[in-house]
Amino acid sequence: MSDASLQSRTDAAIEALRSRRSGHNFDPEADVDEETLEAIVEDATLAPSSFNLQPWEFVAVRDDDRLDELVDIANGQQHVKDAGTAILVAGHTEAKTVDRVVDEWVEAGRIDAEQSEGMKERTAESYESERAGRDYAIRNASLAAENILLSAHARGLTATPMTGFDFDAAAEFVDLPEDAIPVVLIAVGPSGGDEPERLPRRDVDEVLHYETF
């Protein structure tokens, strides 16, 4: 890659990071097409994850009647409906994909076959406690959720994450499996126009610490 190409890519990535914001003004007359939605979720699946286990699931709600129900679950946040698409990002609390992923490591030559069984066992055991399993689900699903926000923004869409909803009701609403928990709800759709100015952020000098807090 040439220096110019690298700089262009760097500039675009930084611009996306610094200009992205959580919008609440959606165009209720426009929708995200299915191809774009699938591309956004594909971008989400490229997020880093513990041991590459990818313990995330994405449930897109687009039906008008179901969006009305989801607004109620989200404490009346009408932009869930106005966006036209709501994505519930969920995380698995158990390392369900460990066998498949470790086998892929072997096939890729990352580890020896004789090492794989021990690695599978140790990896699964590391998430057996309730605390570890919940942290595992939230941490990894949150990384994927950020990719959704950035991908939507890069495609000219508005997206806003929400945690102000009934988690148990949401899990039941989309019929999540027993080991999966809702992590964040994201409204995604075409912009409805200007948003208010971004509120102040804490300065780097306030939040960056070297060596110790």
* Nearest of 191, 196, 155 to residue 12 by alpha carbon: 155
| pLDDT tens track for 50-67 | 999 999 999 999 999 999
pLDDT at 3: 79
Q: Closest Cα partner for 185 from 80, 94, 91, 76?
A: 80
Residue 4 banded pLDDT, cuts 50, 70, 90: confident
pLDDT at 200: 94
Q: How far is CA 79 from the centre of its chain?
A: 18
- Using the predicted structure, report yes or no on whether residue 26 has a pLDDT greater than 90: yes
Query: What does pLDDT average to over the chain?
Result: 95
Once rounded to an integer, what is the mean pLDDT over residues 87-97? 97
Please report the pLDDT score of residue 177 as a whole number.
Answer: 96
pTM of the model: 0.94
Average pLDDT over residues 69-98: 97
Question: Which one-letter amino acid corresponds to residue 48?
Answer: P
Rg (CA), the chain: 19
User: Average pLDDT for residues 36-45, to the nearest whole number?
Assistant: 98
- Supply the pLDDT for residue 1: 74
Q: Compare 10 and 28 and report the one with higher pLDDT.
A: 28
Contact in structure between 179 and 96 (CB atoms under 8 Å): yes
Q: Which residues pair with 181 in a beta bridge?
A: 91
Average pLDDT over residues 33-56: 97
Does pLDDT of 96 surpass 80?
yes
For the chain, domains (ranges, CATH) are: 29-97+128-192 (3.40.109.10)
Q: Contact 26/82 with Cβ under 8 angstroms?
A: yes
- What's the pLDDT at 190? 97
pLDDT reported for residue 53: 97
Taking the C-alpha atoms of residue 133 and residue 187, their distance in angstroms, rounded to an integer, is: 26
- Tens digit of pLDDT for each residue in 122-167? 999 999 999 999 999 999 999 999 999 999 999 999 999 999 999 9
pLDDT at residue number 84: 97
CB–CB of 84/31 below 8 Å?
Answer: yes
How big, in percent rounded to 5, are the helix, strand and coil portions of the chain?
Answer: 50, 15, 35
